[in-house]
Structure 1
Amino acid sequence: MPLWIPIVIAAAFLQNLRSLLQKRLTGRLSTGGATFSRFVFAFPLALAYALLVSSLTGWVPGVPSHTFMTFLIAGAVAQIGATYLLLASFAHGPFAIGTAYSKTEALQAAVFAAVVLGELLSFWGLIAVLIGIAGVALMAFKRREDGLRALNLADKAVLFGVGAGAAFAMASVSYRGASLSLGDSSAFVRAGWTLASATLVQTIIMGTWLRWREPGQVTKTLGLWRESGLVALAGVAGSIGWFTALTLQTAALVKALAQVELIFSTLTSWLYFKEPVSTREVAGIALIGLSIILIVLVA
């Protein structure tokens, strides 16, 4: 089994754990503050990881190239934009619609990767991506009216959801481009320095934005370092996995396999929060499972 597959599965589990921990911060910070907390506390951890893998391999980073910086800034901005678009989708419609359309990220990543990086997805790879998206839709649209509303492409919730998926896809492809531009060093080293650089850029962007638009949020966020620190630790561990996988494999397949996170979140809801699981969700899990099997075979 290729190394990137267990890395993605571990990253998806850690991302689900981060989401679980982040619920503790709900209501204590604004949307911008919560987003900022993900980056400001993650940066020192990501930098420590990058320095560690560099010391173990003996690789010393040089002056960043224009290619690296272009991809990096594009990815950092796209990721921030994706977060806001997803929240905007939730504000204009059911959670299910925003979630489902944002998960078209894998399909959109295949398009962006072909255009930007010249990476083409195989026929069976594309089939795996489409099956995974169908599974997500089954799990998301628990109510018939949500499914019907999702067909209205003029709906703001749909438009913002698609936009979030596009921005997430652009971020994934850009981060892969940045990591690949660092040359032939270890994938762990390239991923580590790309992640550390991305979180630094995002911290600067979000910190500047909050100082201007939401005075007091930066101080409030930093004051919650104990609660946010644990979230950041789980988030960085997951991000290390995502960035490493994106260095090893195309963004479309990585993000298609990442749908396994929905299985983890459903199990968390069932086992931890004692929420019932519907037949539709079980069918969605089955389709995502089939998608994962195809991805493993394709890889």
Structure 2
Amino acid sequence: MGLWIPFTLFAAFMQSMRNAIQSRLSKEISTAGVTLARFLWASPVAAAYLLMLYQFDPVAVPSFDTGFVLTVAAAAVSQIIATALMVVLFRLRNYAIGVGLAKSEAVIAATLGALFFAAPLSPLGWAGVVIGGVAIWLMGNAGAIRELPLKTVMTGLGSGLGFAMTTLWVREASLMLDLSFPHSAAWVLLWVISLQTLMLLVWLAIREPATLLELWRRPKIVMLTSLISCLGSLGWFTAMSLESVALVKTLGQVEVLFTLAISAAWFKDKLGRRDLLGLGLIVLGALCVILA
């Protein structure tokens, strides 16, 4: 079994937990505030992980050229936008369906990776992409076929596109560093999270200072969100430094299994037959990738 597989499964589990917490927090805090909660305390965790790696394997500190900085900056901005759209998505439909629509990320990443990032897929891999696309369409249409909720679908696709571009740029940044996979992924993680935290803090300090106070009043849930988010990103970034984004993100759709359990146990969400079919097809698409 490739080492990228356990990292991907770990990341998917952490992401499902983070999404659940963010969904609940979105009922109390603004979209920008919930987005910041994901990154606020993650930088110290990422820095500690990097220091730990250097204690066990003290390799040289890489140089960061302009291309690297621009790539991680693009990834940071893209992930902020994608996260904000996901928070909006939570308010449009229930938790499980919101996550399911945002998982269009896997389909988009596979397509863009094959077209622009030299990451082609096998026929079976493309079958997984097609199956995932059908699943997203089913989940975006809870009623009759002609009643497709365009706002929900477009928000989900926008979130998916943002996350897809983030992952593609993260992999590109990792490949720019002349380091082994754990160190390169850790450096990219620290750069991206630090930039995101700085940008959001400045934005909220100018536009929504009251939101910063609301986050300060909820230290436990904010710290938990940041910790789980950082662990999830660590898994994603490491997996993507080892394997193509298309394979990692398509396998990562097993997150829906964790999402279903959390949705039923925590949020008491009820899913229709079309929703369950869509979630099942997402899992089938992920299995196609494993077999490919």
Superposition TM-score, scaled by structure 2 size: 0.88
Match for 1:173: what amino acid? L
Pair 1:284-2:278 in alignment = yes
Match for 1:205: what amino acid? M
Q: Which residue of 2 aligns with 1:239?
A: 233
> Structure 1: how far apart are the matches of 2:162 and 2:22?
22
Pair 1:15-2:15 in alignment = yes
> Structure 2: how far apart are the matches of 1:272 and 1:28?
17
Structure 1 segment 218-233 matched on structure 2, within 5 A: 218-233=212-227
Pair 1:85-2:113 in alignment = no
Structure 1 segment 158-177 matched on structure 2, within 5 A: 158-177=153-172
> Structure 2: how far apart are the matches of 1:269 and 1:88?
17
Q: 1:26 to 1:87 in 2, by over 3 A?
A: closer
Structure 1, unaligned runs of 5 or more: none
Q: Is 1:129–1:253's contact at 8 Å kept on the other side of the alignment? A: no
Q: Is 1:5–1:296's contact at 8 Å kept on the other side of the alignment? A: no
Q: Which residue of 1 aligns with 2:28?
A: 28
How far does residue 89 in structure 1 lie from its aligned partner after superposition?
A: 5.3
Q: Which residue of 2 aligns with 1:106?
A: 106
> Structure 2: how far apart are the matches of 1:128 and 1:192?
30
Q: Is 1:104–1:165's contact at 8 Å kept on the other side of the alignment? A: yes
After superposing the two structures, state which structure 1 stretch, 126-135 or 202-211, moved more: 126-135
The structure 2 residue matched to 1:194, chosen from 180, 188, 195, is 188
Secondary structure, aligned partner of 1:7: helix
Secondary structure, aligned partner of 2:108: helix
The structure 2 residue matched to 1:257, chosen from 251, 261, 267, is 251
Q: 1:222 to 1:272 in 2, by over 3 A?
A: closer
Q: 1:70 to 1:216 in 2, by over 3 A?
A: same
Give the number of equivalent residue pairs. 291
Q: Which residue of 1 aligns with 2:72?
A: 72
How far does residue 136 in structure 1 lie from its aligned partner after superposition?
A: 4.3
**Ranges of 4+ aligned residues in structure 1 off by more than 6 Å:** none
Question: Percent same amino acid among aligned pairs?
Answer: 35
Pair 1:124-2:118 in alignment = no
Structure 2, unaligned runs of 5 or more: none
Q: Is 1:98–1:158's contact at 8 Å kept on the other side of the alignment? A: no
Match for 2:106: what amino acid? A
How far does residue 49 in structure 1 lie from its aligned partner after superposition?
A: 0.8
Q: Which residue of 1 aligns with 2:202?
A: 208
How far does residue 268 in structure 1 lie from its aligned partner after superposition?
A: 2.3
How far does residue 295 in structure 1 lie from its aligned partner after superposition?
A: 1.2
> Structure 2: how far apart are the matches of 1:85 and 1:19?
12
Secondary structure, aligned partner of 1:76: helix
Q: 1:194 to 1:232 in 2, by over 3 A?
A: same
What's the C-alpha RMSD, in Å, of the aligned pairs?
2.6
> Structure 1: how far apart are the matches of 2:31 and 2:18?
16
> Structure 1: how far apart are the matches of 2:223 and 2:110?
34
> Structure 2: how far apart are the matches of 1:11 and 1:99?
15
Q: Which residue of 1 aligns with 2:175?
A: 180
